[in-house]
Amino acid sequence: MSELTVVGKPVTRVDVNEKITGQAIYGYDLVLPNMLYGKVLFSPKAHAKIKRINTVKAKQYPGVVAVVTGEDAPWTHGESIKDKPFLAQEKVRYIGEPVAAVATEDEDMAETAVKLIEVEYEDLPVYTDPEEACKPGRGAIHENFDKYRKVEFIVGSHLPNIAEHFKLRTGDVEIGFKESDLILEERYFVPIIQHAAMEPHSAHAQFDKESGRLTIWVANDAPFRALHEITEALNMPKEKIRFINPLQGGGFGSKGGLKVEPIAVALAFHTSGRPVRVKFNREETFISTLTRHEAVVYCKSGVKKDGTLMAREMTIYWGAGAYAEKSPTVCIRGSLPAPGPYRIPHVKVDGYAVYTNKPVAGSYRGYGIPQGAWACEQQMDELAKRLGMDPVEIRMKNIFVEGDVSYWSERLHAVGLKETLIKATAAIEWGKKTQPTKFGTKIGKGFACIQKPTRSPTTSNAGVLVNSRGEVTVLAGTVEIGQGCNTILSQVAAEELKVPMDKVFMHPLDTDAIPYDASTTSSRSTYHMGNAVRRAAIHARQQIAEAASPMLEANVQDLDFAHGKVFLKDQPQMALPIGEVVRRKLGTNGVVRGDGSYTYEIGKDLDLETGHSDHASAFYMYATQAAEVMVDEESGRVRLLRMSAAHDVGKAINPLNCVAQIEGGLAMGIGSALHEEMVVDNTGKVRNPSFLDYHLVTSLDVPKMIPIIVECPEPEGPYGAKGLGEPGLAPTPAAIGNAVADALGVRVYDLPLKPENVYWAIQNKKKKDAA
């Protein structure tokens, strides 16, 4: 084929018009005919037995159509451990757990009716600290853990409240430490934060008794996985369940799995076929949907005088909250690369996903990488400092390069890490000191590197339809959550069929019409679905070429495509519009359908004892971000002066979109670095479940951002592309932490870098120095 025409170009988003006019219909906007309104009663207790639930008063309230409790919905779900009930059964495990729900004729009634449900609780001991909750002798949050249905890779523990224990064993760390000239051991902490997608959670469900069909309308980032989970929970035929995806107002990991869906479904079985809408408001979204794992990270490193890393030992306690959700896989995929993108001969990692009586933690953009990087990347700087080396130098000495074998036994390729490091640090003039202009402030620079795997193995399927008008429809199960997949996938189809972008349309997402896709997670879509759409488009192109061959009296191999036409390579005037080919072959209403599928097969499964795998991930994403900060020594306030973010994307299918992803990820990372934390007190109550008290990044908080695209092509990826969505926030806190330490000569070990944490770090250092 000829050179690229659409791929690699800064094409305008295909979904932007409906978004800037207010015409776009999101899940939260959806209204269905004859719809009922659902409202949930949430647990006010963090850990308690349910002694009695009385629904009589609620059922008698005017306008109430259904009241359901755990008794009416005796089902559980969970991606890897089936531990989560649709509605609480026998006990509650966190404040915010759905206990009961009502469906009413109007929304005002629902608010009142749900408060009429009476629940009697008996308190149980509350565990809020993941490190404490798994100490021997602690009571079980899940008494029946051993009996839960689970996937085969779950590794249990003799310790209490462990949902997963991940082990990585490479070499012998004791030997490594013995051979080291310097050993450093530190404890780092990352608090709970929340996705805070601007659209709160909601779901609509309808059950038709006659046909046995269950339809769920929800902005879920993995409708096929959600469908599978509902199927497994209800033991219904898969063909009877249908997910329809309205537009999604952001997700960042919060809208996968099942959140509001089980409540809507439980109600829908009791409404005589009428659809039910259940919306969470912002506070409910904060306490009852999903959070990012808090993590306690112990990191011990051994290094030679010349900076060569000899050994790294890490123990990570991932606070899972009350249910396992995606904790087992966050624990695995976050703990595995936690020692950083470096050649280290001796490595030992123990990751524990620990149940607590807190809101449920799960997937969050970055999937465990930010927590590990916060520890490992700061420790790299500490090691450098004590060895009298430049932080760049120590990394250059150890950093993964093409062909290295990682400490989990995988030969790495397409490693653009070094280039990201060089470019990100250059962009903030690394090595050049900036003099503070304000009295009482100090200026410092820092950076951090990360490597991120993607969920593997997974499959994407796609269909590409070409009609007699030459219009192309792409059937892909990737969910447009704001990341721009509809634009990227349209570009891929346009590229392969050589049609203009305005001839390409994305089919709405409906599991009845769209072929299977694993999920819109893990930065996997451009690579997996990009490959699937590309194959489907090529399949369609082949059929059109075969149909055109007799029409143009030419061999298939002598035909080429451009500008929506198929033509003879050496006689371009001998051409037919592709729509015309479809019409002549199949009639005016004829459609050519191409199908494509892509599966990345891993080699050996991750070994459960050593954590080793020769192909742990379809591809790896590499990034370096660098920050310059100004810190007020008296107040501890950190101000960002500028930040660069260099990301190896393999190939930028749409550079505009890549920059958008980098900037958005970076801003999110800045929030998590400087002020975001979901404060949960020791009774398990969230103290700041609102945008007033939970400080998201605003337009005033974002500094000058310098996004940098690095292209180190991935041979298996479409046009060389990898993924990009998640890494944007992963190195950010560590980069800023390193800059703060550079400015002050004091390291802060606990996120966020809010004034009081920085202030106390300064005071403690002063005390220590005085003593």
Partner 1 sequence: MKKKIQLTLNGKITTLEVPSHRLLLDLLRDEIGLTGTKEGCGTGDCGACTVFLNGKPVNSCLVLSGELDGTDIVTIEGLKIGPELHPIQKAFIQDGGAQCGYCTPGMLMMSKALLDENPNPTEEEIRFALSGNLCRCTGYAKIIQAVQDAAAELRSKNV
- Residues of the shown chain interacting with partner 1 in the complex, contacts defined by CB under 8 A: 12-13, 15-26, 28-29, 31, 107, 195-200, 247-250, 252, 281-282, 481-484, 656-657, 659-660, 663-668, 690-692, 696-700, 702, 705
Amino acid identity of residue 70, one-letter, is G
Chain centroid, CA 548 distance in Å: 44
Residue whose CB is less far from partner 1, 85 or 275: 275
For partner 1, give the closer residue by CB, 371 or 672.
Answer: 672
Q: Closest CB to partner 1 among 14 and 751?
A: 14
- Give least dist CB 728 to partner 1, A: 9
Q: Which is nearer to partner 1, 484 or 515 (CB)?
A: 484
Minimum CB–partner distance for residue 253 and partner 1 (Å): 12
Determine contact, residues 734/377, Cβ cutoff 8 Å: yes
Q: Which is nearer to partner 1, 106 or 122 (CB)?
A: 106
Q: Which of 762, 754, 758 is nearest to 688 (CA)?
A: 754
Least CB distance to partner 1 at residue 279 (A): 9
Secondary structure (DSSP) of 32-58: -TT-EEEEEEEPS-SSEEEEEEE-HHH
Closer Cβ to partner 1, 341 or 664, answer by number: 664
Q: How many CB atoms lie within 10 A of CB 666?
A: 27
Alpha-carbon distance of 27 to 89, in angstroms, equals 28
DSSP letters along 753-770, please?
--HHHHHHHHHHHHHHHH
Residue 295 or 481: the one with the smaller Cβ distance to partner 1 is 481
d(CA 765, CA 193): 28
Q: Between 13 and 348, name the residue whose CB sits nearer to partner 1.
A: 13
Cα 128 to Cα 118: distance, rounded to the nearest angstrom: 26
Select 246 or 341, whichever has its Cβ closest to partner 1.
246
d(CA 305, CA 302) in angstroms, rounded, equals: 10
What residues contact residue 653 under an 8 Å CB cut-off, 6+ apart? 7, 8, 488, 491, 492, 526, 530, 718, 719, 721
306: burial class by Cβ within 10 Å (0-12, 13-18, 19+)?
exposed
Cis preceding linkage at 391, omega within 30: no
H or E stretch at 378: helix 369-387
Q: How far apart are CA 452 and CA 464, in angstroms?
A: 31
DSSP character string of 666-721: HHHHHHHHHT----B-TTS-BS--STTTS----TTT--EEEEEEE----TTSGGG-
Shortest Å, Cβ 735 to partner 1 = 15
Nearest distance in Å: CB 692, partner 1: 5
Choice between 2 and 23, CB closer to partner 1: 23
Smallest distance, partner 1 to C-beta of residue 18, A: 8
Nearest to 364 by CA among 727, 660, 737, 85: 727
Considering just the CA atoms, what is the radius of gyration of the chain in Å? 27
Cβ distance to partner 1 smaller for residue 199 or 229:
199
Q: How far is the CB of 282 from partner 1 (least distance, A)?
A: 4
Instruction: Tell me the residue type at 768.
Output: K
**Nearer to partner 1 by C-beta: 665 or 684?**
665
Smallest separation (angstroms) from partner 1 to the CB of 31: 7
Q: What's the min distance (Å) between Cβ of 278 and partner 1? A: 15
The strand order across the sheet containing 346-355 reads 162-170, 346-355, 309-321, 294-303, 182-190
Q: How far is the CB of 670 from partner 1 (least distance, A)?
A: 8
Q: Where are the alpha helices (DSSP H) in 401-515?
A: 417-427, 485-497
- Which contiguous run of DSSP H or E holds residue 528? helix 525-551
How far apart CA 511 and CA 226 sit, in angstroms, is 10
Please state the closest distance from residue 672 (CB atom) to partner 1, in A.
Answer: 12
CB of 472 to partner 1, least distance (A): 22
Q: For residues 370 and 316, what is the distance between their CA atoms, to the nearest angstrom?
A: 13
Read off the tokens for 48.
């308690």
Tokens of 475: 């059937």
Find tokens 């299977």 and name the residue: 516
Burial group, residue 577, by CB count within 10 angstroms (0-12, 13-18, 19+): middle
β-strands 202-208, 276-279 pairing: antiparallel
> 406 vs 625, which CB is nearer to partner 1?
625
Q: Compare residues 18 and 614 and give the one whose CB is closer to partner 1.
A: 18
Our CA dihedral for 650, 652, 656, 658, rounded to 10 degrees, sits at: -20
Backbone angles phi, psi at 230, to 5 degrees: -65, -40
Candidates 643, 652, 669; CA nearest to 727 is 669
Q: Which is nearer to partner 1, 163 or 667 (CB)?
A: 667
Shortest distance in whole angstroms from residue 668 CB to partner 1: 7
State in angstroms the smallest separation of the CB of 669 from partner 1: 9
Question: What size, in residues, is the chain?
Answer: 771
Between 17 and 571, name the residue whose CB sits nearer to partner 1: 17
Q: Which helix (H) or strand (E) holds 178?
A: helix 173-178
CB of 192 to partner 1, least distance (A): 17
Nearest distance in Å: CB 688, partner 1: 11
Q: Smallest distance, Å, CB 103 to partner 1?
A: 17
Residue with smaller CB distance to partner 1, 638 or 660? 660
φ, ψ (nearest 5 deg) of residue 737:
-60, -40
CB of 717 to partner 1, least distance (A): 22
The residue among 602 and 656 lying less far from partner 1, judged by its C-beta, is 656
